[in-house]
Amino acid sequence: MLSRSQQWLQRFAWFSAAATLCLIGIGGVVTSKGVGMAVPDWPTTYGYNMFLFPVSQWVGGIFYEHTHRLVASFVGLLTTILAAWLFFADNRKWMRLLGVIAFFLVVFQGVLGGLRVTAMKDEIGIFHGTLAQLFFCLICAITFFSSNWWRNVSFRSDEEAIKSAMPWFIVTTSIILLQLIIGASMRHQHSGLAVPDFPLAYGKWWPDLDPASLERYNQMRLDVRDYGNVTAPQIILHMTHRFIAVIILALTAFCFWKSRGLELPLMVRRLVTSWALLILTQATLGIATVLSKKAADIATAHVVIGALSLAWGVLIVIALKRVIWRDVPVELQRQDQLLNERGGQAFAA
């Protein structure tokens, strides 16, 4: 069992993970509504100290972008506390290191967000969007490592069977990450939907990409948000996103089927089942995003579920690794055993 202090640490980690997911959601709203540049300066907001910007001025796109900045600051504060807490209260060296990495990542992520605004570079936005997903995975992993399950799991299974299944989970999770990078690229090019129909693309299985066709596609785009012109590479990226989505669906189904033949703790089983449901939901939201002409709420939900899908994949891989304990590095085993022997007394307040 976790000590009282460890329980509070884990609750705090949970809270930090939830706040990070909210932040990703708000970031998703900002890009979905196309208001990322509504506040042209950084770190100030229209010349004000960010925290003193008058509420009366939180109008239009400023509301979303400014809220994103404030929530990001809050997540930065939470991460700093979490890193310090781990540093002083967790005797596992690698956990302390994870806390330090999280701290530097959140600072870097904040600076990236600011540079996206001041340098006006979409490439920075893509990196910012991708790093957000990875940061969320890290906070989820820290939360998981702080849990009673991680510290005290005693379940033993057919290691060989799990080892043979593990690559499938790793590959699927890696492809989800690739898919999220492509998704971030699509969102941060601010061109709206590169392909407006589904399941076909401009009425064909593979759209024409010659200049005349592209000109016609752009003329037919009549969105209130009047996005910039769509280009051939953007259409190819969109089609790749669809193609990879099918691959992820198939791989997740295979992983789910594979997990049915494994002896796994109930918690891991639940993770795998909910993962499969998340991927199904995500595919549905992807289709809905196209059919709704990229409605901001649906597109944002697509971002949030995408982040959860990646984090779930990472947690499953970590959990499988934990079940086949002997694969965990000796140093790590030793530290965890030491922790269990002490019963957490060393970390009591």
Partner 1 sequence: MNLKRSLGIMAALAATVQLASAADIIGKVTLKGTPPPEKELPLDPNCGKLHTTKPKTRFYVTGENNGLADVFVYIKDGLTGKTFEVPTEAALLDQKNCEYLPYVMGLQTNQKLLVRNSDPLLHNVHPTPTVAGNKEKNLAQMPKSKDLEFTFPSPEIFVRYKCDVHPWMFAYVGVLEHPFYAVSDKDGNFKIANVPPGDYTVEAYHRKGGKVTQQVKVENATKTADFTVEVAESK
Answer for which of 160, 210, 226, 341 binds partner 1 (CB under 8 A) is 226
DSSP 92: -
Scan residues 232-251 and list those touching partner 1 (CB under 8 A): none
Q: Which residue number, 163 or 216, has a Cβ lying nearer to partner 1?
A: 216
Give residues with Cβ within 8 angstroms of 179, minimum separation 6. Answer: 241, 244, 245, 248, 306
Scan residues 40-99 and list those touching partner 1 (CB under 8 A): 40-41, 46-47, 57, 59-62, 65
From the CB of 225, what's the least distance to partner 1, in Å? 6
Answer for which of 225, 242, 258, 321 binds partner 1 (CB under 8 A) is 225
> In one letter, which amino acid is 157?
S
Q: Which residue number, 47 or 329, has a Cβ lying nearer to partner 1?
A: 47
3-state DSSP assignment of residue 318:
helix
Answer for which of 93, 163, 216, 342 binds partner 1 (CB under 8 A) is 216
DSSP assignment of 221-273: ---TT-PPPP-HHHHHHHHHHHHHHHHHHHHHHHHHHHHHTS---HHHHHHHH
Tokens of 321: 């690794």
From the CB of 218, what's the least distance to partner 1, in Å? 8
Strand partners, 48: 45
> In one letter, which amino acid is 193?
L
**φ, ψ dihedrals at 204, nearest 5°:** -135, 165
Cis peptide before 199 (omega within 30 of 0): yes
- Binding residues for partner 1, rule CB under 8 A, total 28
Q: Which residue number, 34 or 110, has a Cβ lying nearer to partner 1?
A: 34
Q: Which residue number, 79 or 234, has a Cβ lying nearer to partner 1?
A: 234
- What would the 3-class secondary structure string for 51-90 be? HHCCHHHCCHHHHHHHHHHHHHHHHHHHHHHHHHHHHHHC
From the CB of 202, what's the least distance to partner 1, in Å? 12
Q: Does 295 bind partner 1 (CB under 8 A)?
A: no
DSSP 349: -
What does the per-residue mask of binding to partner 1 show for 9-48, with x meaning CB under 8 A?
------------------------xxxxxxxxx----xx-
Scan residues 112-171 and list those touching partner 1 (CB under 8 A): 117, 120
From the CB of 232, what's the least distance to partner 1, in Å? 15
Residues of the shown chain interacting with partner 1 in the complex, contacts defined by CB under 8 A: 33-41, 46-47, 57, 59-62, 65, 117, 120, 215-216, 219-220, 222, 224-226, 228
